[in-house]
Amino acid sequence: MKFDNPNIGIVTGDISNLTVVDVDDPSMLPELIKQVPEINETTRVKTRRCYHYYFSGNGINSTNNFLNMGVEVKSGGIVVAPPSIIDDVTYTFEIPLSEIKPLPIYLIEKEREKAPNKAPEKEGYQAPDVEYKNRRVLGLRYYGKKVDCIRQILSRDLQVGERDNSLYILYNLLLQNDNKKDYSKKIVTEKNRLLTKPLPGKEVEKLFKKAYNHKCSSIIEKLPFVKCDKCKRFKGGLRKMIVGSAMIKNLRDLPKISNTERGILSLIDVYFSGENVTVNRIAEVANMNWQTVNKAVESLRNKGILP
Percent of the chain with pLDDT over 70: 79
pLDDT, tens digit (0-9, with 9 covering 90-100), for 95-113 = 999 999 998 888 877 765 6
pTM of the model: 0.42
72 or 277, higher pLDDT: 72
Question: Distance between CA 239 and CA 282 in Å, rounded?
Answer: 18
d(C-alpha 54, C-alpha 20), whole Å: 5
Q: Which of 153, 159, 154 is nearest to 196 (CA)?
A: 159
Burial class (CB in 10 A: 0-12, 13-18, 19+), 195: middle
- Dmax (CA) of the chain: 79
> Under a CB-based contact definition with an 8 Å cutoff, are residues 79 and 26 in contact?
no
Distances (CA, A) of 164 to 159, 161, 189: 9, 7, 12
What are the distances in angstroms from CA 247 to CA 124, 222, 271?
Answer: 55, 26, 13
pLDDT in tens, 251-305: 667 778 888 888 888 777 767 765 667 888 888 888 888 899 889 888 888 888 8
- Burial track 60-78 (b if 16+ CB lie within 10 A, e otherwise): beebeebbeeebbbbbbee
- Among residues 56, 53, 57, which one has the least CA distance to residue 66? 53
Which band of pLDDT confidence, cut at 50, 70 and 90, is reported for residue 119? very low
Beta bridge partners of 13: 18
